[in-house]
Amino acid sequence: MRPFLLVLSSPSGGGKTTIARQLLMAREDLGYSVSATTRERRSGETDGVDYYFLPREEFLRREAAGDFLETATYGGELYGTLRSEIERLFAAGKTVVLDIEIKGARQIRRQMPDAVEIFVLPPSAAVLVGRLTGRATEAPAVLRERMARAADELKAVTEYDYVVVNEDLFAAVAQVAAILDAESRRVSRQEELGAVVEQLRRDVIEETARFPAHHSAPKP
Ligand code: 5GP
């Protein structure tokens, strides 16, 4: 199967990062595209695992050098998907999971039309706000900005291929896994299909030859 990109987007607090983490823990066929960002590292985050935390100048230099597949600004900070991440994971035969916001997803859609894009919806505004404030890592002004942006981002849902409502994490992960499994069975992704079917046809033809060519009429 030709590996592909699985884009997960949701407003901040929608739960896409948790879904991505659960999936990656459960499945060997997936790899996570570690993004680059200029934002501050939060406590509990590791450089090279959660993000590549880059100084702004380095981010801009790498952007000018064409190192990114897509970039976007979020809360005044820069975020981008590194081509090298995608290449590394594709070379290892992995389907690549991207946790990115909607403007980045649009750029991916244009450049890689066979990417699969899923929008993760929170079940209610109360849950979204609860998840954002529960995180307790951001200042109130940052939270306010993220919530305003969430209201705006929700409008982008119709641009995506699939929507998953994240009411129950277990169910949401199972739904994303089901989408992945169906997508990996698309005929267009089966590089080896031609050879497999050709061999199958040859075998069927060989088997056919074992049968008598003429219909012998049943004896009275
Ligand atoms: P956070 O700062 O909360 O980790 O991420 C803020 C937003 O940036 C989230 O919606 C996240 O999905 C998005 N994001 C993270 N990495 C990238 C990236 O490489 N490209 C784009 N376009 N968005 C990203």
User: Domain locations in the chain?
Assistant: 5-208
Q: What average pLDDT does range 37-57 have in this prediction?
A: 97
Q: How far is the CA of 57 from the centre of ligand 1 (A)?
A: 19
pTM above 0.85, yes or no: yes
Q: Was domain 5-208 assigned CATH 3.30.70.2660? A: no
Q: What average pLDDT does range 140-164 have in this prediction?
A: 92
Alpha helices in the chain (DSSP H): 16-26, 56-64, 83-91, 102-111, 125-135, 140-153, 169-184, 193-209
pLDDT of residue 218: 65
pLDDT of residue 113: 94
pLDDT digits (tens, 9 = 90+) for 100-133: 999 999 999 999 999 999 999 999 999 998 888 8
Q: What CA–CA distances, in Å, run from 103 to 41, 76, 80, 100, 190? A: 22, 14, 11, 8, 30
More confident site: 145 or 216:
145
Check pLDDT > 70 for residue 140.
Answer: yes
pLDDT of residue 145: 86
pLDDT of residue 81: 98
How high is the mean pLDDT of the chain?
A: 94
Residues with a CB atom less than 6 Å from ligand 1: 12, 35, 39, 70, 72, 74, 79-81, 99-101, 103-104
Biggest distance spanned by C-alpha atoms of the chain: 94
- Cα(165)–Cα(168) distance, integer angstroms: 8
Q: How far is the CA of 32 from the centre of ligand 1 (A)?
A: 13
